[in-house]
Structure 1
Amino acid sequence: MTRSLLPAAALLIAFAGASMAQDQNAAEKSPPGAPYVQVSDALPLPAFIPGLGTLFVDPAKLPAGPFLAYDHDGRLSATVYMVPLEDLQSGTAFNDLGLGSQTVTGVDIYYNAGHPGVEKPHAHVVLYHDPDAKARLAK
């Protein structure tokens, strides 16, 4: 019986790996698809935010995200987390946050006083997915 389970397990692992790669590939170009929504369609924010790009988020993952950040050409450039400082100070942990891409070439962390969607003071944690991503999102 164990011998017959091995091929089935190998097939299951292969399909799971292909499915995960397909999910990641789906996020490479804008729009990423369900459950992500474009932030500017849900909140009074511009479609492209200089420094962050065009943002998409799964509403169930708010406030931290991940927010998927795309450049003007619709290329995934960064994954952004918006972590409320109050939550960190009270001991809240944000575990197992998703990634837009496994490739990370740089990280910025900075303070934000609040904005529509994440009104409380929070930290932006920005993971850039290629060496030119920050420049593409800047303008």
Structure 2
Amino acid sequence: MKTSLALAAALFAATSTVAIAQDDTALVQAPPGEPYIRVSDALPLPEFIPGLGTLFVNPDTLPAGPFLAYDHDGKLSATVYMTPLEALENGKSFDDLGIGSHAVRGVDVYYNAGHPGVDEPHAHVVLYHDEGAKGRLAK
């Protein structure tokens, strides 16, 4: 598992400099508009997931995302990637991943055993866009 998380961290480092961002202002407030859909409208998940917030994703970018994570006030707080560990272990790259905002104030990478939408074990790579984002998404 350490190798998988290291691969996920390497993936983030390799793609963060070439990530394609959309117009930051268009994504600042939920809902972000097409092609994004609210994850809870498509999957059996709560509208607000503690630790991740209210998620929107372009279905064409699954499973990696980006998932745009909004706080209770609809403010873009994080961009989340969900990268399947088996795919990473088998050498798959997730290149040119989009980002919700160019501002990144912190990054978390952690293991998830699977959930609706990304059923297989995967790494969550979370880019927090401002100092208070992690706290606003926590509850």
Alignment of 1:96-135 (within 5 A): 96-135=96-135
Secondary structure of 1:68's aligned partner: strand
Secondary structure of 1:93's aligned partner: coil
Write 1 or 2 for the structure with the bigger share of helix. 1
Structure 2: gaps of 5 or more residues? 1-19
Deviation at 1:21, TM superposition (A): 9.1
Deviation at 1:23, TM superposition (A): 2.7
Contact 2:21 2:102 in 1 (8 A): no
- Please give the TM-score of this superposition, normalised by the length of structure 1: 0.84
Larger radius of gyration: 1
**Equivalence for 1:39:** 39
- Greater RCO (CA < 8 Å, at least 6 residues apart): 2
**CA 1:21–1:100: 2 relative to 1, 3 Å:** closer
Distance 1:62 1:22 in 2: 17
Equivalent AA in structure 2 for residue 53 of structure 1: G
Is 1:65 equivalent to 2:62 in the alignment?
no
Alignment of 1:9-88 (within 5 A): 23-88=23-88
Please identify runs of 4+ aligned residues in structure 1 that moved more than 4 A. Answer: none
**CA 1:108–1:21: 2 relative to 1, 3 Å:** closer
Structure 1: gaps of 5 or more residues? 1-19
Give the share of equivalent positions with the same residue, in percent.
Answer: 73
CA RMSD, aligned part only?
1.4
- Please give the TM-score of this superposition, normalised by the length of structure 2: 0.84
